[in-house]
Amino acid sequence: MLDSGENLWLGLSPSPLLWLAITLLAYHIGERIKAWCKDAAWASPVLIAIVIISVLLLVSHTNYKTYFTGAQFIHFLLGPVTVALGVPLAENIGHVRRSLGSMIPALAIGSATSIVSGYFITLACGGSLPIALSMAPKAVTTPIAMALAQEIGGVPALTAVLAILAGILAAVAGEPLLRFLGVKDWRAHGLAAGIAGSGVAAAQVAGRDPLAAAFSALGIGLNGLVTAIAVPIFVALA
């Protein structure tokens, strides 16, 4: 019965276009709210858009699959934008090369901290093993995180959501938190955003400073490589 109802809805409405439009509108509203809040970091357009759309889907009894038929056109651009991060990376290659000595230890420590603390804190708070396993790879870019979750017995869909929520958190809190601790270096801000919050946090720092954009791109790429190797080893040991 539910099935036929869905088919009717799909048949009657230009549903993909509708959900595409709603996604753009929700993000636009998010950006306006951020502007009203004088660009406060906590007014995240990504989070606002996700909340608006989720409420609309729940209220209209629309399932995620139907929503995605429209939203996939936006989702598809994640590939090209990841490639596009190669541009700030190349334009700041001189800075990157000079910072290798500090970047490699920071990468190793940040990446390991994310995996180990995510897993153990979740378990310590009474979370189930599948949730802890889904948490371990959450800091890396969504496709790597999902593939890793699959491999170690986590839930890929949950890891994707955690990866985005971690990105929102890092985008919202990263800059104030690091400034509070006295970190002024844009290279450190960029790398930390890329490692702890991948794309969503990188999008935030990329708008603040081109050097931060370069280091966040590098953080995403290198953390992806390190985590892809480290997570299966960690899970085997834990």
Neighbours of 88 (CB within 10 A): 22
Give the whole-angstrom CA distance, residue 213 versus residue 53: 29
For residue 153, state whether it binds other proteins (rule: CB under 8 A).
Answer: no
Among 29, 33, 183, 238, binds other proteins (CB under 8 A): 183
Stretch that binds other proteins, among 6-14, 35-43, 78-86 (CB under 8 A): 78-86
> According to CB under 8 A, which one of 10, 17, 21, 78 is a site residue for other proteins?
78
Least Å from the CB of residue 117 to other proteins: 4
Q: Residues 195-224 vs other proteins: string with x where CB under 8 A?
A: xxx-xx-xxx-xx-----x---x-xxx--x
Q: Which is nearer to other proteins, 37 or 93 (CB)?
A: 93
- Tell me the number of residues near other proteins by CB under 8 A: 117
CA atoms within 13 A on the CB side of 65: 5
- 43 interacts with other proteins by CB under 8 A: no
Residue (of 135, 216, 136, 214) closest to 171 by Cα position: 216
Residues near 124 by Cβ (< 8 Å), separated by ≥ 6? none
Interface characters, 82-101, with other proteins (x: CB under 8 A): xxxxxxxxxx-xxx--xx-x
Q: Which of residues 12-41 bind other proteins (CB under 8 A)?
A: 23-24, 26-27
Q: Which residues of 150-167 are buried (b: 16+ CB within 10 A; e: fewer)?
A: eebebbbebbbebbbbbb
Q: Determine, following the binding rule CB under 8 A, whether residue 150 of this chain makes contact with other proteins.
A: no
Helices 64-75 and 2-12, packing angle to 10 deg? 40
CA distance 236 to 45: 38
Interface residue with other proteins, options 9, 29, 33, 130 (CB under 8 A): 130
Q: Taking a C-beta distance cutoff of 8 angstroms, is the pair 26, 49 a contact?
A: yes
Assess 161 for contact with other proteins (CB under 8 A).
yes
Residue 111 is a binding residue for other proteins (CB under 8 A) = yes
> Under the criterion CB under 8 A, does residue 110 sit at the interface with other proteins?
yes
Query: For other proteins, which residue of 173, 208, 209, 238 counts as binding (CB under 8 A)?
Result: 173
Three-class DSSP labels, 42-69: CCCHHHHHHHHHHHHHHHCCCCHHHHHH
From 1-9, 10-18, 35-43, 154-162, span contacting other proteins (CB under 8 A): 154-162
Using an 8 Å Cβ cutoff, are 183 and 160 in contact?
no
Residues 231, 148: contact at Cβ < 8 Å? yes
Task: Say whether residue 174 binds other proteins (CB under 8 A).
Answer: yes
